[in-house]
Amino acid sequence: MKKNDDIVLEIKALSGQGVGIGRYNGIAVFVDQTAVGDTVKAHIIKVKKNYCVGKLMEIVTPSPDRKAVDCPAFSRCGGCSFRHINYEKELEIKAQGVYDAMKRIGSIDMEPKDITPSPRLAGYRNKAQYPISMGDDGIFYGFFAKHSHRVIKSEGCLLQPPVFEKTMQEIKIWADKNKITAYDETIGKGVLRHILLRLGEKTGELMVVAVINADTLPFADDLAKMLSERLGDTLKSLQYNINKEDTNVILGEKTVLVYGDDTITDEICGVKVKISAASFYQVNRDAAEVLYKKAATYIEDGDNVIVDLFCGIGTIGLSVLNLCGREGRTLVGVEIVPSAIENAKQNALLGGFKNTEFILGDATAAAEKLSFRNISPDVVIVDPPRKGCDEKLLKIIAEDFAPKKLIYISCDPATLARDSKILSENGYKLQEYSPVDLFPATAHIETVALFHRQKD
């Protein structure tokens, strides 16, 4: 098999990223946007020693798991992986992917609990980061193509709430009227890099943040006037963020308020929360409630001191306290983003929570300080970024904190599996783990896992 060959292939499996896999003359061939059971014609675009990559040219025989694609940008946009597969099969694939990672990477041969579906399949995202590019008729917005920074025009994305599309259309009108240019990373020129939108789903409050390659946002007052007229009370905050660095990081260090407040408010698990531009907040609020309620079931009588590492704006720790009872319990949260820590303190005050403390700092360094203060948690909760927990942090948790329980919330099965193996080597046994789908149509999956300490 060589590049530019056309082959007929039966798809036998899907990768964790939702890419179909078949075998041709004994060689694995990866073909995107295919489903198990498809017979397809593929054009070979890459040939490696142990595998090949093909481009889907024709579906000869469709899989019974297929459904009609409902997004015109699906074949080019890098956002969704499963718009062509029915949701029941998507859940099955995701659950299998979590199990496979735990077994292969973590050496844990334990079936997960039944996967929990998302309460909503469309319009569920409360946050979007739209890259901006230049077209023949002014700026356009969308999302990056897979493995690139090429912006694919995507109007009316089905993952976003309708108010996001309405807002972006108004921003395009404003930018084109005032000849605002889009940032071109190849030459480092242009003004608009991204538009960040956040929505408080319970309150309806909208935050708009223009990320710019400039010291100030041109015609900012005009934009505030236009958006407030079109969106009314929905518009709670308009800000611009300055990012003039040659970087893939979206937000720069300085954010300037143009209109309204610098936070929006939402409610999760009965807890009102303030959210700033840079703070972490789960993008699927309804499914996050399911996730946090599952975590709260692991808290029992006698679990009185809870340490929440990677606490963000405090949503997990405060939600768990609110669900399982505040009386007699102490919560200590740790987070590295300054605005998130301020939000967490505000949220605890807003909700009338007592005996809470939120510490600014890296999780590993803060854990060392807490250990030095002889804080002995009954439960430690971790919700790390995709890279998982630092091995040093896991050892501090196991050896210095030595909690009875560790609740691990993960957005990456591979790093959860790796960290589960490290925890098992340090005296913590996995009791159960439960996938929860916060990201329908995409390849991402959350998992909540419970570990018990096995030694003194």
Residues acting as catalytic residues: 411
Q: Six-digit token pair at 118?
A: 């998302």
152-164 burial string, b = 16+ CB within 10 Å, else e?
A: bebeebbbbbebb
First to last CA, the chain: 58
Q: What is the distance between the alpha carbons of residues 372 and 367, in angstroms, rounded to a whole number?
A: 9
H/E element, 305: strand 305-309
Residues forming beta bridges with residue 133, ordered by sequence position: 140
Q: What is the distance between the alpha carbons of residues 107 and 444, in angstroms, rounded to a whole number?
A: 22
What are the distances in angstroms from CA 49 to CA 4, 23, 30, 39, 46? 16, 14, 14, 24, 10
Amino acid making up residue 424: S
- Inter-residue contact 112 to 100 (CB < 8 Å): no
Q: What is the distance between the alpha carbons of residues 181 and 48, in angstroms, rounded to a whole number?
A: 41
Q: What is the distance between the alpha carbons of residues 352 and 340, in angstroms, rounded to a whole number?
A: 18
Query: How many CA atoms, within 13 angstroms, populate the side-chain half-sphere of residue 456?
Result: 0
Residues forming beta bridges with residue 356, ordered by sequence position: 331
What does DSSP say about strands 405-410 and 379-382: parallel, antiparallel, or unpaired? Answer: parallel
Supply the DSSP symbol for 232.
Answer: G
Instruction: Please give the full DSSP string across 256-290, using - where no structure is assigned.
Output: EEEEE-SEEEEEETTEEEEEETT----S-HHHHHH
- Inter-residue contact 243 to 254 (CB < 8 Å): no
Helix, strand counts (H, E) of the chain: 9, 21
Find where tokens 């242009």 sit. Answer: 190
- Inter-residue contact 311 to 336 (CB < 8 Å): no
Q: What is the distance between the alpha carbons of residues 180 and 196, in angstroms, rounded to a whole number?
A: 17
